[in-house]
Chains A and B, each alone.
Chain A
Amino acid sequence: MQKKVFQLLVDNTSGVLSRISGLFSRRGYNIESITAGTTSNPKYTRITIVATGDEAILEQIEKQVGKLIDVRQIWELKPDSSVFRELILIKIKVKDDQRQAIVSVSDIFRAKIIDVDIDSMIIELTGNQSKIDAFLDLLGGYEILEIARTGIAGLRRGTGELVTID
């Protein structure tokens, strides 16, 4: 099993997301995460999909998704030439004597405390997946109540291979 990050530029038609996710479910492809948002041109949506599978499956994903009428282009975001970010919100249970320690760990990771309650707090962290995983490891000793992750967004570095929007 390999993991690949695909990025798509798609026409912002109604139902475009269901067309793409439907293709994954009916052909039995695995999605690890999917994020979508409009681009500088409201006619287009940029979608980032993290998919897993063997090489043949990943090649089929690229071809079958690329074939959808609404998909302008699909390309792989290769780790060495791309940047990835994910945002995570973590709600943990805290006693009074734990609060300061958590704030210190959060500072090291440049995470933000965005809500504090009597017995819990919510931390926001942005980063690539390994940073987020490392942070979660460090919080292993505390009781995590809820987690919300956005899935990854990414862009290719530089201006070499821009997919232009007309």
Chain B
Amino acid sequence: MLGADAMAKCLLEEQVKVVFGYPGVAICPFFNSMLSVDINRVLVRTEQNAAHMANGYARISGKVGVCVATSGPGATNLITGIATAYADSIPLVCITGQVDSGQLGSDVFQEADITGAVESFVKYSYLVKNVEDIPRIFKEAFHIASTGRKGPVLIDVPIDIQNAAISKFSYPAEVNLRTYKPTVSGHVVQIKKVIKAIGRAQRPIICVGGGVLLSEASENVRDFAHKYGIPVVSTLMGIGVMPTKDPLYFGMVGNNGKPYANRAMNESDLIIMIGARVADRAISQPDLIMDNTVLVHIDVDPAEIGKNVGPHIPLVGDINTIFEQIKKYEAECNCNEWVETLNGYKADAPVRKKPRSEYVDPAEFIRMLSEKLDDDAIYVADVGQNQMWSCGYHIVKAGRFLTSGGMGTMGYSIPAAIGARAAAPGRQIVAVCGDGSFQMSMMELATMQQHKLPIKTIIFHNGYLGLVREYQYNTYKGNYSVVDLSGSPDFGKLSSAYDVPFMKLENMDGADKLIDDFLGTDGPALMEVMIDPLDVVK
């Protein structure tokens, strides 16, 4: 058995169902060994998207996503995808081929120090120097990626190691990492403090982040909110923990969030942050909140606690485990009046200014689209104005909302949707992007077509990098610099080049029927939605 066979076997042992990748000479031994195992292989059109596909796969399956690239440019192309996963704590194992270990450091063809280059974007990385280490390293990599605060782990395997014979393959049953032992259960003393704080609070609020979804704790957190009647807001990454229409849900916080969600945070006397980083885009002035509010911060990563704001009650551990523990305690909490107040704020919220009527109103379009989607549909938003409208107007029923939050990587939606599809072949999937972000990953229409994936892609066409244009309008008095997307292809012709059905919506007339037709198409389909070039987020 060769090192490459051992690598493939390790993936089998980890019950990997699919790898997303792009071959090159330095990783060919591995791809050759993959022919003899029952694991799907998806050829991407550029390596960055292999990492995004693994990302979408991981977020929907709850398992580790796997992507593979060759040495040199293959490996460096992965970096943006790895950084995207790191910023959102998505568990990935990234496998890269490397040049012959005897030639490492001598700048031979397609050599790149990838473990060095990704150091700041991975949870851990390995350069395999001995073929006998492969089973242990793979076992550790999957363990590290999927436990504690999740994240990407990279394994760099020189080609001679892949081609070397391994004397004995035995996959370790357990990892033995002397230095890595993440906290799982919450400290009982801290849990009791949380319960006491709930009993004392008049205006409590729960703020859920992506950590709730990563810990698969949505149901427990929802039950907790309903048990005490505590209103809930979410960060960008926490969208989907609560169904949009839940009477206790008050939308997304932050710069681009709902004004009543931010007001709820500011007026609350007890904030329970769950799996959220208190990041700059969500809470721009953490000092403001702290004045007369008790802050509870629940997170698996102790380093997040106190990083941006000093909590009164820190609680470290796996969120789902902690909420299993919290169930056993009781407190009195009556915040009906507070919920009523918030409902009042919600009713008074300003309505978004309508764009010119000859164009589609993206807010209304998204609302209409999401009402028509299946209850468990997966909605993948890209980055830009499309993302902000999606956050604001997509209605989550029992499905998922995916987007690149921490890194804000344009071009994320299409590959992530393909990855999501691999994890949940039975579910309806839409990818929503702008004409800028679409052009960052439109090459993956080929991947979609190759595997006949019924993903529905929507392009909001405004001819601009809209969010940057909006920023330049506000900051530079409308002096636009390098945001004009003239020269974009005819998306209809592009679609037919890929043999993907195409539809175009010019204004709201006929939107209802066109969306029905679009969602009813077999296989992939693309819809171009013409929006006002001067439309803004709010």
A interface with B by C-beta (< 8 Å) = 10-11, 14-15, 18-19, 22, 26, 56, 59-60, 63-64, 66-67, 69-72, 166
Contact = CB atoms under 8 A, between A and B. Distances in A.
Contacts of A67: 301-303
A72 B180 CA distance: 7
A66 B305 CA distance: 14
| A-B CB proximity, top 4 nearest | A63-B303, A72-B179, A69-B124, A69-B180
Contacts of A71: 179
Contacts of A10: 179
Interface in B296-315: 301-303, 306-307, 310
13 contacts: A10-B179, A11-B178, A15-B127, A18-B116, A22-B120, A56-B310, A60-B306, A63-B306, A67-B302, A69-B124, A69-B144, A69-B180, A71-B179
Given A56-B306, A63-B302, A63-B303, A69 B120 contact: no
B280 interface: no
Contact of B179 (A11, A15, A60, A64): A11
Nearest to A59: B306
Nearest to A63: B303
B347 interface: no
Interface of B: 115-116, 119-120, 123-124, 127, 144, 177-180, 301-303, 306-307, 310
A66 B303 CA distance: 9
A14 to B, nearest CB: 8
Which DSSP category, helix, strand, loop or mixed, fits chain B's interface? loop
A59 B302 CA distance: 11
B318 to A, nearest CB: 16
B307 A60 contact: yes
Contacts of A69: 123-124, 144, 177, 179-180
Contacts of B120: 22, 26
A64 B178 contact: no
A74 to B, nearest CB: 11
A148 to B, nearest CB: 28
Given A22-B119, A56-B306, 14 more contacts: A10-B179, A15-B127, A18-B119, A60-B303, A60-B307, A63-B303, A63-B306, A66-B302, A67-B302, A69-B123, A69-B124, A69-B177, A69-B179, A166-B178
Nearest to A15: B115
A4 B112 CA distance: 37
A60 B310 CA distance: 11
A164 to B, nearest CB: 11
Contacts of B123: 69
A19 B126 CA distance: 12
A116 to B, nearest CB: 42
A64 B303 contact: yes
A70 B179 contact: yes
Nearest to B304: A63
A56 B177 CA distance: 29
B179 to A, nearest CB: 4
A14 B128 CA distance: 11
Contacts of A19: 119
A70 B115 CA distance: 15
Nearest to A26: B120
Contacts of B177: 69
A166 B181 CA distance: 15
A65 to B, nearest CB: 9
Nearest to B125: A15
B174 to A, nearest CB: 16
Contacts of A18: 116, 119
Contacts of B178: 11, 72, 166
A143 to B, nearest CB: 42
Among A15, A18, A22, A67: residue with most chain B CB under 10 A: A67
Nearest to A43: B178
A130 B154 CA distance: 45
B303 to A, nearest CB: 4
Nearest to A25: B120
Contacts of A64: 303
Contacts of B307: 60, 63
B76 to A, nearest CB: 18
A59 B314 CA distance: 14
B291 to A, nearest CB: 18
Nearest to A64: B303
Nearest to B124: A69
A67 B124 CA distance: 11
Contacts of A11: 178-179
Contacts of A26: 120
Among B127, B179, B180: residue with most chain A CB under 10 A: B179
B145 to A, nearest CB: 11
A59 B307 CA distance: 9
A9 to B, nearest CB: 8
Contacts of A15: 115, 127
Nearest to B307: A60
A145 B284 CA distance: 52
Contacts of A72: 178-179
